[in-house]
Amino acid sequence: MTTATPHSAMSYDTRPGFFARAEAWLDARGKFGWIAAMVLGFIVFWPIGLALLAYMIWGKSMFSRSCRDMKSFTSPMHKTSGNAAFDAYRDETMRRLEEEQHKFESFLKRLRDAKDKAEFDAFMDERERKAGNDQPA
């Protein structure tokens, strides 16, 4: 008669391994966590950093976002909220702010141009004054 021991075929460890735990820990910290780990890997032993870089590029879909996804991620203001009155208010406010920004930028350009002209005129006046002093009478 054979008795089953506690370490039968089903006794393997179901806990995630070191690498799976490390990956989950880095995923929780986001892209900057992965980059920091890669830099530390390069500092400690360069093949570790190279392996992490390769894994980040090909193993993870970290850098494979399409342009459409990035556009929707960076400018969520173009989505509708479902409330037409709010959308109209938001669009009008955005248009007004863009117009104010354009006016302010043109004001700053005029201000810089006026300052440049004043500095150039002062330079030319000083140059003429020096040229007049250098000529014998």
Q: Is the pLDDT of residue 72 over 80?
A: no
CA 63 to chain CA centroid, Å, is 13
Closest CA to 35 of 18, 20, 21, 49: 49
**Helix then strand then coil, % of the chain, to nearest 5:** 75, 0, 25
The per-residue pLDDT for range 88-104, each reduced to its tens digit, is 999 999 999 999 999 99
Arithmetic mean of pLDDT over the chain: 78
Closest CA to 52 of 32, 30, 37: 37
Q: Where are the domains of the chain?
A: 18-65, 83-137
Which of 1-5, 37-41, 100-104, 110-114 comes out lowest in average pLDDT? 1-5
- Pair 63, 56: CB distance under 8 Å: yes
> Interior CA angle at 113 toward 108 and 115, to 5°?
95
SS3 88: helix
pLDDT of residue 134: 72
Residue type, 85: A
The per-residue pLDDT for range 108-129, each reduced to its tens digit, is 999 999 999 999 999 999 999 9
Q: Average pLDDT, stretch 17-39?
A: 82
pLDDT of residue 112: 93
DSSP 62: T
Q: Which residues of 16-31 are buried (b: 16+ CB within 10 A; e: fewer)?
A: eeeeeeebeebeeeee
Q: Average pLDDT, stretch 58-64?
A: 62
Q: Is the pLDDT of residue 17 over 90?
A: no
**Rounded Cα gap, residues 19 and 31, in angstroms:** 17
Q: Average pLDDT, stretch 75-98?
A: 85
